[in-house]
């Protein structure tokens, strides 16, 4: 058996998220179908992160066991030949038996993009949230400054969270404004469900003047989801990198 690490990109627009679904197309489902076909037996695919419906990835990582012998490049090409073009395996490596795409991950980086212009390009609209109208970038940046570090992020996840605790180490939160494109980079040891999109939605409310920048600290410490902003749309979110 070979333990395979695959680095994957996908446009999540047409998929019901990463996780396999009984009656809907998913990234994990498509990879499971193809690897099972190539290995001539049922495959189990582990992903570094379970992206939600409509979320994209430039650096998702998956791992699986393979019985049949393949050279890495031939395995990559064989998988891609059986996938739609909105999913692509970029690289394949053979790893020690102890490697698992999810459990071996040490950090993840996500990017959230917001377009503030009146018209969004057809080459960009799938990969950003179109918020028509200017946002107060400096206020958003001040609000964001309260979030890096090790905190309880209960205010920025779903009420019925699957996790026993909501403490995460948000190692980096950077914001950049280039013309009408506002980009927010998040790096953490792990993320809660909807955490990035809930923070992005709250920052948008700060930018619109609905929430003051200094109120972000109170939202974080209050640990009440109802006090934060709405969950920002999935289209603006991309999983950029997984660190091991």
Catalytic pick among 11, 39, 52, 77: 52
pLDDT of residue 161: 63
Residue with tokens 């190539």: 38
Q: Is this structure's pTM higher than 0.85? A: yes
Measure the CA dihedral 102/87/14/66, to 10°. -50
Q: Per-residue pLDDT averaged across 85-112, rounded? A: 97
- Provide the pLDDT confidence category of residue 130 given band limits of 50, 70 and 90: very high
Predicted confidence (pLDDT) per residue in 33-51, tens digit: 999 999 999 999 999 999 9
Tens-digit pLDDT profile for residues 66-84:
999 999 999 999 999 999 9
For residue 52, indicate whether it is catalytic: yes
What whole-number distance in Å separates Cα of residue 188 and Cα of residue 196?
Answer: 10
189-210 residue pLDDT tens: 999 999 999 999 999 999 999 9
Q: Is 104's pLDDT higher than 90?
A: yes
Give the pLDDT mean for 115-128.
Answer: 96
pLDDT range class, residue 158, cuts 50, 70, 90: confident
Q: What is the average per-residue pLDDT within 166-188? A: 97
């Amino acid at each position: 058996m070979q333990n395979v690490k695959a680095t994957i990109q996908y446009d999540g627009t047409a998929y019901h998220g990463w996780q396999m679904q009984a009656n809907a197309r998913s990234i994990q489902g498509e990879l499971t179908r193809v690897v099972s076909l190539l290995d001539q037996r049922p495959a189990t695919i582990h992903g570094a992160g379970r992206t939600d419906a409509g979320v994209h990835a430039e650096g998702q990582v998956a791992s699986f066991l393979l019985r049949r012998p393949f050279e890495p490049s031939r395995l990559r090409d064989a998988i891609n030949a059986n996938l739609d073009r909105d999913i692509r395996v970029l690289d394949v490596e053979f790893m020690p038996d102890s490697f698992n795409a999810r459990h071996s991950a040490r950090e993840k980086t996500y990017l959230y993009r917001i377009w503030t212009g009146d018209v969004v390009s057809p080459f960009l609209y799938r990969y950003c949230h179109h918020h028509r109208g200017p946002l107060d970038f400096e206020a958003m940046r001040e609000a964001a400054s309260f979030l890096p570090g090790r905190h309880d992020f209960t205010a920025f996840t779903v009420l019925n969270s699957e996790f026993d605790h909501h403490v995460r180490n948000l190692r980096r939160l950077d914001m950049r404004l280039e013309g009408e494109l506002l980009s927010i980079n998040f790096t953490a040891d792990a993320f809660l469900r909807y955490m990035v999109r809930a923070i992005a939605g709250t920052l948008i409310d700060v930018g619109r003047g609905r929430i003051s920048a200094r109120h972000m600290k109170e939202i974080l410490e209050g640990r009440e989801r109802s006090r934060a902003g709405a969950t920002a749309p999935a289209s603006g979110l991309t999983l950029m990198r997984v660190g091991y």
